[in-house]
Structure 1
Amino acid sequence: MITGAFGYASALLAIAGVLYYLEAFRKWRVFRYLPAIVLLYFVVMVCASAGLWEKTAAINDTYKMLRNNLLPAMIFLMLLEADLRQIKRLGWRMIFAFLLASFSIAAGFIVTFALFQHGLADNAWKTFAALCGSWMGGTGNLAAIQLALDVPDSAMGYTLLIDSIDYAIWVMALLALVPYAAHFNRWVKADSRALDDVSARLAESKADQTQVSGGNVLMLLALSCVVSSLSQWLAAMLPASAYFSTTAWTVALVTLAGIAGAVTPLRRLGGADVVATVLLNLIIALIASRASFSELLEAPVYILAGGCILLTHGVIMVIAAKLFRLDLFTCGLASLANIGGVASAPVLAASYSKALIPVGVLMAMLGYIVGTAGGLAVGKVLSVIAGA
């Protein structure tokens, strides 16, 4: 069993490296159906469940340190290849899909609570309202609703379990669907020409970049880490609240830095996507390392309720995709921008095209605007159902 920080990080990198080798050189058939990044999530989750590493203080600190520092660095590097002039061509459909995802999540909470309320704890409507705020926005929105409804920390345990387990399964499912985007788009008759055109234009712009070299990689890695550190330092000095947390400020600052860097000669420096891909794989492994199949047995009713919420949300999104001809990228990103926020939406966007990272970041930032109000509104409906 691994108990040290370096052994933990080494294990995650080793798993990612082996999967890359099997995909790139062995050409295993399974990779035709499941991307390596999905298998990485699953394999790391299996290892966590098997107890390959123990959640010691050192490992917990390492997880927080790597995730909190590498995620802003990855976003910055991926934004260096962003061209907002092209991305704005995606238009109103993204905002419409985001609001539709928020509505379907609210519907999922209301339907699920009505079905499961007798098997839940007293005043569960309050904790579900807080979770709804989190799944519409982020942890800051959850904290705001918890404060507004006066929910004690001791009452949040099972709700946070839903947030951990069901969220992890949902992320894995959305990543697994990426290879089938073309089939889905044909089925719903989605007009994905704007997305295809933007992706093609952004891909063509990579031709102007210099060749990848060790020096480029070193420079980009150093720059991304400095930007991440400075963004967090500045964010800590800005006014934060439960509504807009320090993490939200960090993401906002690093996003501005990446967009600014994209109009400088840094844009032509080859290797940003290489370093960002390494960081992306490590971040995915870090997230998966906190999940465990054994936790599914701790509170089956709550885990099932979380699955019901996501199922309702998914069904509504598929119906809407068919009615409004929304492509899978738009639907999936809108879903994860709500449920996963800034920590996950850029990861899903990168699995389609690394150049689309800004779309994921900007859409996830919308969640901070609607999360608190949406969660409180759903909480009001749940309180009526509970007769509170």
Structure 2
Amino acid sequence: MITDGLLMLGVLLGLSGVLIVLERTTGWKFFRFVPGMVLMYLLCATLNSLGVFGQDDATREPIAQVKDVLLPAMIFLFLFGCDLRKIIRLGPKLLLTYFVAAASLFLAMILVFLVFQAALHEESWKALGALLGSWTGGSANMVAIQDILQAPESIFGYALITDTIMYSLWLMIMFASVAASPRFNRWTKADTSHLDSHMGVLEEEKRPVTVVSLAITIFGSILVSTVVTWIGGLLPEWGDVVTGTTWTILIVSVLGLIVAVTPLGKTAGTQEVATLMLFVVIGQIASGSDFSALTQAPLYLLIGLLVLAIHAVIMVVYAKLTKTELFSLAVASTANIGGIASAPVVASAFNRQLVPVGILYALIGSFAGTFIGLAAAQVMSAL
């Protein structure tokens, strides 16, 4: 058993490094179905279930403190690419489609929660709020909500498993929808002219990662995280949702958006460093999970399936009423449910020239996902 906190942190860092290297260099098809981040969760939860990690405060406290610093820093860095000026240029039709997709997921989660509420754990609203944060933003939003609401690790495990399986299923459906695009567009009588102005407009210069960029990215983000965490702790709290952590996440999110429109927003290595931080945060959460408690996982999978089904119905009705083409629907949906990693890929499957739309959609979610998930959690808690 590992009872030294620094040694346990070293194990989590080592596992993160190995998984990232394997995922990025081997090309194994295995990682298409089980992403490295999910494998990190499964491995750390397995080690904890087997009793490898000590449970005392002396063992856990160093890792918890590291996570408290890395989480705001990670969110801050992820938002460096979220330039609001480029997002506004998408135009009203594309922006409306994205927000309808997010709103449909919000509504579906509330409705399904009402149906299954009696069969769920009393704190399930926290896990489902985190799941919605992932499905309207991404993994970073999911762990941010987990940190704010402090959902039990076992229940958070249900949400993560549901997220992984349903996301994989949804991505396959989105790719399959490409072939049906002409028929769907004829059925909705869609006009695709509003997409023409977005053809290949996001050509970004690829800057090399240097010591200077890493210093700005790593040390700068940690400085911002520590200062903002201190400020967040001084602000007033209301209930379970608006806490010092909520204030911290809100402030770093706004700061990230501000930096994104400055020259600092183009600093090389921000997304890569943020990804490294995400692995460590996931490992810390997973190290408190116990697989012996995963008895309700099938129920959460059913909830996830129903949420996506309701979302799909709402999006199709919206497309018919507004004469929206399938491209916008599929990419908006994928940007919510899959995030920055998959929205550009689905966009390229329809038309490579429209990849920028997928990127900008996903960047909206990287900011909004945390707050959408928290809002849904507040509603479910009240219900």
Settle same-fold status: TM greater than 0.5: yes
The 2-side partners of 1:256 and 1:186 are apart by 36
Amino acid in structure 2 at the alignment position of 1:316: I
Asked if the contact 1:133/1:141 (under 8 Å) is kept, the reply is no
By how many angstroms is 1:127 displaced? 6.0
Question: Taking every aligned residue pair, what percent have the same amino acid on both sides?
Answer: 24
By how many angstroms is 1:322 displaced? 4.9
Asked if the contact 2:158/2:297 (under 8 Å) is kept, the reply is yes
By how many angstroms is 1:263 displaced? 2.3
Residue 231, structure 1, aligned to residue 231, structure 2: no
Residue 112, structure 1, aligned to residue 116, structure 2: yes
Task: Summarize the Cα distance change of 1:3–1:195 in structure 2 as closer, same or farther, 3 Å threshold.
Answer: farther
The 2-side partners of 1:23 and 1:132 are apart by 28
**Superposition map of 1:286-365 within 5 A:** 286-296=284-294, 300=295, 302-323=296-317, 324=319, 325=326, 327=329, 330-331=332-333, 334=336, 349-352=339-342, 356-365=362-371
Task: Summarize the Cα distance change of 1:272–1:139 in structure 2 as closer, same or farther, 3 Å threshold.
Answer: closer
Task: Summarize the Cα distance change of 1:212–1:304 in structure 2 as closer, same or farther, 3 Å threshold.
Answer: closer
Amino acid in structure 2 at the alignment position of 1:314: L
Asked if the contact 1:48/1:291 (under 8 Å) is kept, the reply is yes
Quote the residue 2:22 is aligned against. Answer: 22
| CA deviation string 1:327-372 (max 9, x = no partner) | 566446656xxxxxxxxxxxx6343478744522223213444543
Asked if the contact 1:133/1:375 (under 8 Å) is kept, the reply is no
Quote the residue 2:137 is aligned against. Answer: none
The 2-side partners of 1:35 and 1:130 are apart by 24
The 1-side partners of 2:85 and 2:215 are apart by 29
Asked if the contact 1:82/1:358 (under 8 Å) is kept, the reply is yes
Quote the residue 1:10 is aligned against. Answer: 10
| CA deviation string 1:16-50 (max 9, x = no partner) | 22223323433333234443333333333333333
Quote the residue 1:282 is aligned against. Answer: 280
Residue 272, structure 1, aligned to residue 266, structure 2: no
Unaligned runs of 5+ in 2: 134-144, 186-191, 320-325, 345-358
By how many angstroms is 1:175 displaced? 5.6
Quote the residue 1:44 is aligned against. Answer: 44
Quote the residue 2:218 is aligned against. Answer: 221
Amino acid in structure 1 at the alignment position of 2:306: T
Asked if the contact 1:78/1:276 (under 8 Å) is kept, the reply is yes
Quote the residue 1:74 is aligned against. Answer: 74
* Farther-moved stretch of structure 1 (251-260 vs 326-335): 326-335
Residue 205, structure 1, aligned to residue 204, structure 2: yes
| CA deviation string 1:184-208 (max 9, x = no partner) | 55277499x9999979655x2243x
Asked if the contact 1:134/1:140 (under 8 Å) is kept, the reply is no
Asked if the contact 1:130/1:141 (under 8 Å) is kept, the reply is no
| CA deviation string 1:201-224 (max 9, x = no partner) | 55x2243x4x21123212321100
Task: Summarize the Cα distance change of 1:127–1:185 in structure 2 as closer, same or farther, 3 Å threshold.
Answer: same
By how many angstroms is 1:171 displaced? 3.2
Asked if the contact 2:105/2:311 (under 8 Å) is kept, the reply is yes
| CA deviation string 1:220-278 (max 9, x = no partner) | 21100011111112212222212422222111111121122122221233222232221
Asked if the contact 2:23/2:36 (under 8 Å) is kept, the reply is yes
Aligned residues: 334
1:80 aligned counterpart, secondary structure: helix
Quote the residue 2:157 is aligned against. Answer: 165
1:91 aligned counterpart, secondary structure: helix
By how many angstroms is 1:104 displaced? 1.5
Unaligned runs of 5+ in 1: 144-158, 336-347, 380-388
2:81 aligned counterpart, secondary structure: coil
The 2-side partners of 1:363 and 1:306 are apart by 20
The 1-side partners of 2:173 and 2:197 are apart by 16
Amino acid in structure 2 at the alignment position of 1:205: E
The 1-side partners of 2:131 and 2:116 are apart by 14
For normalisation by structure 2, the TM-score amounts to 0.72
For normalisation by structure 1, the TM-score amounts to 0.71
Task: Summarize the Cα distance change of 1:373–1:280 in structure 2 as closer, same or farther, 3 Å threshold.
Answer: closer
* Farther-moved stretch of structure 1 (88-97 vs 219-228): 88-97
The 1-side partners of 2:381 and 2:161 are apart by 22
